[in-house]
A and B are shown apart, each in its own frame.
Chain A
Amino acid sequence: MTLAAAETEISPPKTIVAPPVTERELRLDLFRGLALWLIFIDHLPTNVLTWFTLRNYGFSDATEIFIFISGYTAAFVYGRAMQERGFLVASARILKRAWQIYVAHIFLFTIYLAEISYVAARFDNPLYAEEMNILDFLKQPDVTIVQALLLRFRPVNMDVLPLYIVLMMFFPPVLWLLRKKADLALALSVALYAVTWEFELALPSYPSGTWFFNPFAWQLLFVFGAWCALGGAERMSRILTSRITLALAAAYLVFALAVVLTWHFPRIDFLMPKMLARWMYPISKTDLDVLRFAHFLALAVVTIHLIPKGWPGLTSAWLRPMILCGQHSLEIFCVGIFLAFAGHFAIVELQGGPWIHLAISAAGIVIMSGTAWLLSWYKGVADKSGSHQARKSSAGAA
């Protein structure tokens, strides 16, 4: 959905001049904001709003959007830094960003520990004796906390940031190569993805299993986003805007919708050919199944057709909250995870019905938007105190 951004706004790397911050591609912010909202809703117990989330209508979901746009903006912002200040300075900034994300992750982990300890101290219903084993790790805080610091212990809903951290840590050499030989970098990324599938590469997690989002597979989407930002989208623009591509993309989206419908309504599962099912399933989220990747691409192609650059709706007040959230993605992501914990807790304690669920979800989105507005306001005030700050804060937005 953001591929066309590069068409007009970003020139090939060599001629990049720092555009004023006001020339932000609002579609990137809009869809990243949307992804953040959807991730928040998906982390809460099922309610009416869950039916508006992407994963009910196709293979891919908000995570793909988030990672792709993160790759895109990272290349855009740090690519410019690499152009102006050189490899070392840009790399230092990228690593500083990775460190910030790490600290944010550990902060969220602390909140998670607090919540789970509260439950462990109070909840002892024999019906759930087996499920209570999840609390066993509290008996060994020495091991658990070290494993969490090593990003190996991953509580529920806390999988995206570790992926983001690893992707950012390895981004300096990737960005360097992308700027020298973009297509080679993308080819290597595809090769790593293929090797991952062939040899089942994975990062181990504690106490067992592997990372929920396999960085060896998901790097493809991040690098692809970066490749698009550095001129790839522009070179693909003829393909992207052709009617044939649009028709193929639309057809694939309809196909995915039909498949997903058979999951929601088991009665119509007989319509699903067995051969196709054998070939297709399982559609791995952990390893970014190629069907998911293709679904994201199709969604992007259709979206840039429906919402072209300069679409008037982008300046409407209604979409402003979503755009603001997208502009402060790390902060809002963390707020969203925190609100998901808090929302869970509130739902359990209040014993609310569907309306309470809905109210909590809506309140969460309002809080996320309010926080984003506050951050924007503060950034505006801080930027006024010195123009040299502007560059810093735009780097912070990646």
Chain B
Amino acid sequence: MKIVLQALLVAGFLAGSPVCAQKGGADGKQEPAKSCEMPPELMSVGDNVLGTVSAAIKIRKKLDILVVGSGSSTLAGPDGASIAYPARLEASLREKLPGIAIAVTTHLQPKKPAEEVAETLKGLVAERKPDLLLWQTGTFDAIRAVHPDDFRNALDDGVGSVKAAGADAMLMNLQYSPQMEAMIATEPYLDNIRAVAQQQDVPLFDRYAIMQNWGENGVFDLSNSSRSFALARAVHDCIGRALADFVIAAAKVDPAEFKAQR
């Protein structure tokens, strides 16, 4: 199977055919500039409104976002953080909302279950005073097979404490990986993240479904086993841009207004 795949890849290079190259995940074809179109239903924010974010943009003209996450919120290597989605989110928001002071900071807590992360959220909001806390979660709990009910309670407490501390909260779920799907039971964690988002009325950025959509439609070859950073860079860039659109949509802000002011 692998040999066939490699043959395809080579054939793709030789022929220079964009279709083959895209399917094979050849490095050069996944430049960050690539458009990452996605189906609108995955970008639906529902009725949830990020009130604090909205006020921050419209009135205070500044927006502070704190990303709390695990290993999949960054990339390894010296420039890993600068190509990971939080940095891409910041760049994309600056582009889309000119005139607004945007700051996206991260507080990553890898190898910690949601229960432990949840306990830190109240203090983090008090200390850093973000307008929006984006909580990327679920991966570590799924790997450790934490009891789904415990996971859910932790999420519920965590989101509740962020809201109580005066920031908007938003959730982000796991990454989709065709390979890992056979090894990590993601479903209970995805279901519980979605359920808590619904109950707490906070937007959920469905990274899993979005990446699955990309994988199925051949936008990215997510089963590429190469050590190259090209795929990671491109996926994180697209996640960052999509997040920027998502935050703007959830804050019910019209980016056209800001463009006009410039």
**Interface of A toward B, CB cutoff 8 Å:** 45-46, 115-116, 119, 122-131, 133-135, 154-157, 202, 205, 207-210, 212, 263, 266-267, 269-270, 274, 277-278, 281-282, 284-287, 341, 344-345, 347-351, 353-354
CB within 8 A of A209: which of B23, B146, B199, B226? Answer: B146
Q: In the complex the two chains form, is B221's CB within 8 Å of A267's CB?
A: no
Q: In the complex the two chains form, is B178's CB within 8 Å of A347's CB?
A: yes
Q: In the complex the two chains form, is B72's CB within 8 Å of A130's CB?
A: yes
Given A128-B177, A157-B185, A266-B44, 19 new contacts (CB under 8 A) = A45-B178, A116-B183, A119-B183, A123-B179, A125-B227, A127-B175, A130-B72, A135-B183, A155-B183, A156-B183, A156-B184, A202-B147, A208-B146, A209-B146, A212-B185, A266-B198, A282-B195, A284-B148, A286-B147
Set of chain A residues within 8 Å of B72, measured between Cβ atoms: 128-131
Q: In the complex the two chains form, is B183's CB within 8 Å of A349's CB?
A: no
Q: In the complex the two chains form, is A131's CB within 8 Å of B44's CB?
A: no
Task: Report Cα–Cα, A155/B181, bound state, in Å.
Answer: 12
Task: Report Cα–Cα, A4/B209, bound state, in Å.
Answer: 42
Set of chain B residues within 8 Å of A123, measured between Cβ atoms: 179, 225
Residue of B nearest to A128 (CB): B177
> 1/0 contact trace for B142-156 toward A, CB 8 Å?
011111110010000
Q: A212-B185, A277-B199 are in contact. Are A205 and B145 (CB under 8 A)?
A: yes
Set of chain A residues within 8 Å of B181, measured between Cβ atoms: 45, 344
Interface pick from B53-61, B228-236, B242-250, B253-261: B228-236
Q: In the complex the two chains form, is B144's CB within 8 Å of A281's CB?
A: no
Closest approach, in angstroms, between the C-beta of A396 and any C-beta of chain B?
30
| A-B pairs with beta carbons under 8 Å apart, 14 shown | A126-B76, A126-B228, A130-B139, A133-B140, A134-B143, A154-B145, A156-B184, A209-B146, A281-B195, A282-B149, A284-B148, A284-B149, A349-B5, A351-B221
Set of chain B residues within 8 Å of A45, measured between Cβ atoms: 178, 181
In the assembled complex, B192 has its CB within 8 A of some CB on chain A: yes
Number of chain B residues close to chain A: CB under 8 A: 58
Task: Report Cα–Cα, A295/B140, bound state, in Å.
Answer: 32
Q: Which 6 A/B pairs are nearest by Cβ-Cβ distance? A: A130-B71, A344-B182, A349-B1, A127-B232, A209-B145, A156-B185
Residue of A nearest to B192 (CB): A282
Task: Report Cα–Cα, A123/B227, bound state, in Å.
Answer: 8
Q: In the complex the two chains form, is A270's CB within 8 Å of B178's CB?
A: no
CB within 8 A of A349: which of B2, B77, B199? Answer: B2
Closest approach, in angstroms, between the C-beta of A122 and any C-beta of chain B?
5
In the assembled complex, B82 has its CB within 8 A of some CB on chain A: no
Task: Report Cα–Cα, A131/B138, bound state, in Å.
Answer: 11
Set of chain A residues within 8 Å of B32, measured between Cβ atoms: none
Closest approach, in angstroms, between the C-beta of B208 and any C-beta of chain A?
11
From 1 to 56 in chain B, residues with beta carbon under 8 angstroms from any chain A beta carbon are: 1-2, 5, 23, 44, 46-47
Among A157, A208, A274, A345, the most chain B Cβ lie within 10 Å of the Cβ of: A208
Task: Report Cα–Cα, A28/B70, bound state, in Å.
Answer: 47
Set of chain B residues within 8 Å of A349, measured between Cβ atoms: 1-2, 5, 223
Among A116, A127, A130, A267, the most chain B Cβ lie within 10 Å of the Cβ of: A127
CB within 8 A of A134: which of B46, B178, B184, B194? Answer: B184
Task: Report Cα–Cα, A125/B1, bound state, in Å.
Answer: 18
Q: In the complex the two chains form, is B148's CB within 8 Å of A286's CB?
A: yes
> 1/0 contact trace for B122-160 toward A, CB 8 Å?
000000000000000001100111111100100000000
Set of chain B residues within 8 Å of A131, measured between Cβ atoms: 72, 139, 143, 175, 177, 180, 184
Closest approach, in angstroms, between the C-beta of B176 and any C-beta of chain A?
10
Task: Report Cα–Cα, A286/B191, bound state, in Å.
Answer: 14
CB within 8 A of B110: which of A122, A130, A207? Answer: A130
Q: In the complex the two chains form, is A353's CB within 8 Å of B145's CB?
A: no
Set of chain A residues within 8 Å of B148, measured between Cβ atoms: 282, 284-286
Q: A209-B145, A209-B147 are in contact. Are A127 and B183 (CB under 8 A)?
A: no
In the assembled complex, B75 has its CB within 8 A of some CB on chain A: yes
Set of chain B residues within 8 Å of A133, measured between Cβ atoms: 71, 111, 140, 143
Q: In the complex the two chains form, is A128's CB within 8 Å of B145's CB?
A: no
Closest approach, in angstroms, between the C-beta of A285 and any C-beta of chain B?
7
In the assembled complex, B224 has its CB within 8 A of some CB on chain A: yes
Closest approach, in angstroms, between the C-beta of B215 and any C-beta of chain A?
9
Residue of B nearest to A135 (CB): B183
Set of chain A residues within 8 Å of B177, measured between Cβ atoms: 127-128, 131
